[in-house]
Amino acid sequence: MFVVTKVNALFGRRILLMSSILSAVFLAACTPSSDPPESKDTGDTVDAEAVYSEAALKIPNPQVTPGGTVEGAITITLDPGWHTYGDPPGDSGMPPSVAFKLPQGWKSEVMPLPPTKEFPDAVGVSYGYENQLKISFRLTAPPDAKVGTTTDVSIDLQWLVCKEMCLPMSETLTSKITISQNETKETPNE
Amino acid sequence: MNKLMLVIAIALTTMMAYAGAETGKAAPGFKLTDLDGKEHSLADFKGKVVVLEWTNYGCPFVKKHYKSGNMQMLQKKYTDKGVIWLTICSSAKGKQGYFSLDDWKKESAKAKSSGTAILPDPTGVAGKAYGATATPHMFVIDAKGILVYQGAIDSNSSFDPKTIDGATNYVAEAVDAVLAGKEVKTKETKAYGCSVKY
């Protein structure tokens, strides 16, 4: 059993407990590749099977001392013409949802999103990002983390991309962090 | 100068969009034709509780409620209780979510849509009268023709179907209250979803 800290930017933080199996099933259910034909039927020029946006996880210095913090970022890249949403998203859309799956005792914090651009349409204005969105976060290891071990970091990311029509995106991003004895020398401002 | 004009234009558009229907007042009338060519006017349903559901089958937030079966469950549950449930699509011809009548028949059968009628609104006249901005955008009208709820279908604005459980369904709350002769608790919320493709 993992502790899933769901950081839903729109509705604040909430903590959900669920088995990893359950979330895997749900994730499978909402992966965009599972429902391309319906999107295609809408008479739009967008090819729902193509990928217009990708997400990557980077933890530049994946080491942490017990009780220490480590920083990382999720980068969402978007094809020209597509945009994703900020928080709040405005008159339509949804901000990215970032749910960390971490072992007991770990804490996660998502930094405020960068300033948004306005996307006006027939019904109002949305706020969001073109080209790229970087979501920075900080993880705190429990004080009793065992030196020499590695921890799996898993993030369930959901984001909405739109260009006339909208496509739901969902991906699980993973990385590893090593628990080290010493403060990491590579981080100058620690 | 151009920028100022744009800001004014945006402000006006936003105001117009929200100028739509006023909660607590008579719901705007409309006349739309269903997939079988039958005309429906809001006035025909006086004496019945009416739910208006703005839809767009290509929208991930609409899919959230249809693929999970949540929307059809609500449609069936309330039409069984005598509620009129009208599913309206204001996508203009050529815009995303627009279907020909034949395609509407196919797609709505596939979606197992279970409301009273599906009403394409390609001119957007009904959508604009109500100020429908999103899909799904929901309206509840009581038996006297008064608009008693407008806004989101529920309290969780994610496109993820797993968020349906645990969310408060404002439409169900409003319809239950009206059917029980009680006051609707939450009368207005901000609709979430894709923008209506007028």
**Per-residue pLDDT of chain B in tens (198 residues, 90 and over written 9):** 455 555 545 444 444 444 589 999 999 999 999 999 999 999 999 999 999 999 999 999 999 999 999 999 999 999 999 999 999 999 999 999 999 999 999 999 999 999 999 999 999 999 999 999 999 999 999 999 999 999 999 999 999 999 999 999 999 999 999 999 999 999 999 999 999 999
Please, what sign has the CA dihedral across residues A22, A173, A75, A32? Answer: negative
Which one of B89, B113, B160, B163 would you mutate to disrupt binding with A, by most A Cβ within 10 Å of its Cβ? B160
Which residues in chain A are closer than 8 Å to B58, comparing Cβ atoms? Answer: 38-39, 41-42, 44, 165-166
Inter-axis angle of helices B70-79 and B60-67, nearest 10: 60
Q: B134 at the A interface (CB within 8 A)?
A: yes
Task: Tell me, letter by letter, the H, E, C secondary structure of B115-175.
Answer: CCEEEECCCCHHHHHHCCCEECEEEEECCCCEEEEEECCECCCCCCHHHCCCCCEHHHHHH
User: How far does A20 lie from chain B, in Å, by closest CA?
Assistant: 14
Q: B57 at the A interface (CB within 8 A)?
A: yes
Write the ipTM: 0.78
Question: CA-to-CA distance for A173 and A110, rounded, in angstroms?
Answer: 15
Number of Cβ pairs < 8 A linking chain A and chain B: 104
Measured in Å, how far apart are chain B's first and last C-alpha atoms? 28
* CB–CB contact A29 B103 (8 Å): no
* CB–CB contact A158 B17 (8 Å): no
Question: CA-to-CA distance for A166 and B177, rounded, in angstroms?
Answer: 34
* CB–CB contact A94 B158 (8 Å): yes
pLDDT digits (tens, 9 = 90+) for A109-166: 999 999 999 999 888 899 999 999 999 999 999 999 999 999 999 999 999 999 988 9
